[in-house]
Amino acid sequence: MCGIVGYTGPKEAYPIVITGLKRLEYRGYDSTGVALLDNGLKVYKKKGRVSELEQTIFGKDLHSHCGIGHTRWATHGEPSDRNAHPHVSASGKLAMIHNGIIENYAQLKQELTNKGYTFTSETDTEVLLNFIEDIRENNQCDLEEAVRVALKRVTGAYVILLLDTDNPDTIIAARKGSPLVIGVGNGEHFLGSDASPMLEYTKDVVYVNDYELAIVKPDELILKNLGNEKITPFITKLDIELAAIEKGGYDHFMLKEIFEQPSTIHDCLRGRLDADAGTITMSGIQNNIEHFKEANRIIMVACGTSWHAALLAEYIIEELCRIPVEVEYASEFRYRNPVINKGDIIVAISQSGETADTLVAIERAKENGAIIFGIVNVVGSSIARISDGGAYTHAGPEIGVASTKAFTGQLAVLTMMALKIAKEKKTISEERYRKLLLELEAVPEKVDAILKNAGDVKKIAEKYKSAGDALFLGRGYNFPIALEGALKLKEISYIHAEGYPAAEMKHGPIALVDENLPVIFIATQDSYHEKIVSNIQEIKARKGKVIAVITEGDDIIPGMADDVFYVPPADEIIAPMLSTIPLQLLSYYVGIAKGVDVDKPRNLAKSVTVE
């Protein structure tokens, strides 16, 4: 949940570090700080955003060729100057930044306190730093060995970057459970939670794995395991361009990413879906096709928006493939003692590929013999790398905290996956298969058409920006979209919103309905349409405000609803990829109307790498 950046080489370190932190702010922005090595340590840190730190330290001595930086999402200790990273050890010789949680920090802190250590912050990071220093001083060993010894005692998740005044060009890094990428330059090295801080400098990167430790000098990268055995760094070539992480003329990353969806969905389908030939080429599925065909059950594990994609996949896979599907919140799945049978397939869905709950959930499942299939957006991420097979959503870097283009990418991959398995299992007719391929192929163009009416959504958003609550209702394939629409509105506008199956209203929630309550129906033309019209009438009878996402040509609902959003006609299995678009726009424009920082909403971070 935090962003970390490091640089060592001939360039000035500070500009690289501070720019890298701005690109990683989506991971957390409660406080920020930098540590620079140059004839000793220079540490600047404070509560607040990177830009506030930058203004505060403007004009100070920022010269250095080796530095680290951190942007925090608070776990232990409230957001404050003293809890901001980097932390400095008792001797003043070490500085460290950390992303993760040290679960046994209290015990370590007690041991150090008993030895006379005092602490300036409430963080687990400062405890780990002084634990490392104490080992180095008492064992008379070098810092690298002290880090190894300390990390063997630590339980929890971490990425740490460590500076030592005794080695002014070296950064020591280690990871377990939180992401770390090292960029390999010409006589220089870059470190980051993802590749965005290094994109303009190098495309050659090393993804550090769990329990690995890196000693990083300008012209040398040594990788070792905690047993002090050298590991050959595996260099991957990045295919992301800097432009992909800039705003490209849009006011916010979220709006840019909503409008990118025609091309990102196209990119997701490209090279895989061939509607003319009637083929879907997905090597991750193909290589595991026997497991999918024989699967007694598919368990889907995810969080947040990715969980909504999993729920929609349940409806589609059960309908097309006739394989039982269970959808689990990763945070629940990992702590209860789930029954996992041999032959079960676990499908992990994650945009970041670093969500701690999802990552640990599949690690546990893997230990129990399950096959893991990962549907991930970030190439080379932890979930992608521990999966037995998978498929990338190819949505490109998603910087806005709200997941939009990654969500529709997930739906496109999951629909292709269901169609491919159904075809192999012969549980779908050739005619319906071909029809759905054509429908899927047409999605980018239909999304583009919806986006052309974004102005209509903006006007409607203005009407409802002062609502205190909202309900989102849908049936069948549109029920997961109702949940997703509610989550978007909550996280982007801070309006309390709930999603429900439309028929559930009469079992209690309808008591909420009055003339102030906006009720958003996802009511596209499908096999549930007649029923949902009745549900709309139930709301209208109680003076509720009705906003409906409907199919072009629907001549029933416009006469009933207060406001409507139109989407082009599509098969009910495909329609959710369309009906979610107006709801993304609705949350964006309501958030803007309310003055919310829609790219970085309060309390949130893009990648939840803590439990």
Active site members = 2, 606
Please identify, among the stretches 229-237, 281-289, 351-359, 464-472, the one whose residues bind ligand AGP according to the rule CB under 6 A. Answer: 351-359
Which residue is it, tokens 């794995």? 209
- Establish if 408 lies at the interface with ligand AGP (CB under 6 A): no
Min CB(359)–ligand AGP separation in Å? 9
- Which of 202, 382, 393, 403 touches ligand AGP by CB under 6 A? 403
| Residue numbers 490-519 binding ligand AGP by CB under 6 A | 491
Min CB(491)–ligand AGP separation in Å? 6
Q: How far apart are CA 60 and CA 410, in angstroms?
A: 46
- Establish if 402 lies at the interface with ligand AGP (CB under 6 A): yes
Kindly give the residue spans of alpha helices, DSSP state H, lying in 442-552.
443-451, 454-464, 479-493, 529-540
Please identify, among the stretches 3-11, 39-47, 302-310, 458-466, the one whose residues bind ligand AGP according to the rule CB under 6 A. Answer: 302-310
- Establish if 306 lies at the interface with ligand AGP (CB under 6 A): yes
- Establish if 305 lies at the interface with ligand AGP (CB under 6 A): yes
- Establish if 374 lies at the interface with ligand AGP (CB under 6 A): no
Q: How far apart are CA 80 and CA 61, in angstroms?
A: 23
Q: How far apart are CA 200 and CA 245, in angstroms?
A: 11
- Cα dihedral 246→582→414→396 (10° resolution): 0
Residue 372 · residue 362 · CB < 8 Å: yes
Cβ-closest position to ligand AGP: 304
- Establish if 355 lies at the interface with ligand AGP (CB under 6 A): yes
Q: With respect to ligand AGP, which residue has the nearer C-beta, 123 or 350?
A: 350
- Cα 124 from chain centre: 24
Q: With respect to ligand AGP, which residue has the nearer C-beta, 321 or 481?
A: 481
From the CB of residue 52, how many other CB atoms can be counted at a distance below 10 Å?
14
Single-letter residue type at 110: Q
From the CB of residue 39, how many other CB atoms can be counted at a distance below 10 Å?
10
Buried b (16+ CB within 10 A) or exposed e, 109-141: beebeeeebebebebbbbbbbbbbbbbbeeeee
- Which of 71, 331, 351, 493 touches ligand AGP by CB under 6 A? 351
- Establish if 89 lies at the interface with ligand AGP (CB under 6 A): no
- Which of 170, 358, 408, 493 touches ligand AGP by CB under 6 A? 358
Binding-residue total with ligand AGP (CB under 6 A): 15
Min CB(89)–ligand AGP separation in Å? 33
- Establish if 99 lies at the interface with ligand AGP (CB under 6 A): no
List the structure tokens of 52: 């506030």
Q: Which residues make Cβ contacts (< 8 Å) with residue 37, sequence separation at least 6?
A: 64, 65, 66, 67, 163, 165, 168, 169
Min CB(340)–ligand AGP separation in Å? 20
Task: List residues near ligand AGP by CB under 6 A.
Answer: 303-306, 350-352, 355, 358, 401-403, 491, 607-608
